[in-house]
Amino acid sequence: MSTLKIDNISMRFDLPNGGHVQALKDVSLELQSGELMSVLGPSGCGKTTLLNIVAGFLAPTEGKITLNDHKVTGPDAERGMVFQQGALFEWMSVRDNVSFGPRMKGESKSKYMPTVNHLLDVVGLKDFKEKAIYELSGGMQQRVALARCLANDPDVILMDEPLGALDALTREKMQGLVLKLWKETGKTIILITHSVEEALLLGERLLVMAPRPGRIHKEYRLPFADLGVGKDLREVKKHPEFSQRREEILEMIWNMEEEIMGRVEESA
Partner 1 sequence: MTGFIVLALYVAAFFVAYLAVSALYRAFFARADFTALKTVTFGDESAVRPNRAASVLSVITIFLLWVAFTNSSLPLPQASSPYLGEVTFTYTSTLPDGRADDAEVSVLVYREDISQTVDSEGNPGRIPAAPEVEPGDGFAKNDSVVVPRYGYKVINVLGNDELGRSEDAVITALNGTEVQAGETIKLPEGELGLTDKGTPTFSPSTGNRMQRLYLPAPEVTVERFVELNEDGYRNYTLWQHTWISLQRVLLGFFFGALVGIPLGYAMGLTNWARGWFDPIVEFMRPVPPLALIPLMIIWFGIGEQSKVILLFLAALWIMAIAARAGVSGVAISKVHAAYSLGASKMQVLTKVIIPNSLPEIFTGARVAMGVCWGTVVAAELVAAERGLGMMIMVASKFQLTDIVIVGIILIGIIGFLIDVGIRMLEKWLVPWKGRV
Interaction of residue 83 with partner 1, rule CB under 8 A: yes
Size of the site for partner 1 (CB under 8 A): 30
**Edge-to-edge strands, sheet with 215-221:** 79-82, 156-160, 188-192, 36-40, 205-210, 215-221
What are residue 130's phi and psi, to 5 degrees?
Answer: -90, 0
136 binds partner 1 (CB under 8 A): no
Closest separation in Å from C-beta 85 to partner 1: 8
User: At its nearest, how many Å lie between partner 1 and the CB of residue 80?
Assistant: 6
Count of alpha carbons within 13 angstroms of residue 91, beta-carbon side: 0
Residue among 43, 71, 86, 248 that touches partner 1 (CB under 8 A): 86
Residue numbers 7-26 binding partner 1 by CB under 8 A: none
DSSP of 66-133: EETTEE--S--TTEEEE-SSS-S-TTSBHHHHHTHHHHHTT--HHHHHHHHHHHHHHTT-GGGTTSBG
**Interface region with partner 1, contact rule CB under 8 A, candidates 100-108, 198-206, 223-231, 252-260:** 100-108
Binding mask 181-220 for partner 1 (x = CB under 8 A): ----------------------------------------
Q: What SS3 class is residue 235?
A: helix
Closer to partner 1 at the Cβ: 189 or 206?
189
DSSP 146-187: HHHHHHT--SEEEEESTTTTS-HHHHHHHHHHHHHHHHHH--
Residue 104 binding partner 1, by CB under 8 A: yes
CB of 248 to partner 1, least distance (A): 33
Task: Say how far apart CA 68 and CA 65 lie, in whole Å.
Answer: 10
Nearer to partner 1, 75 or 262 (CB): 75
Supply the minimum distance, in Å, between the C-beta of residue 53 and partner 1: 13
Q: Which residues bind partner 1 (CB under 8 A)?
A: 55, 57, 74-77, 79-81, 83-84, 86-91, 100-101, 104-105, 132-134, 145, 148-149, 152, 154, 158
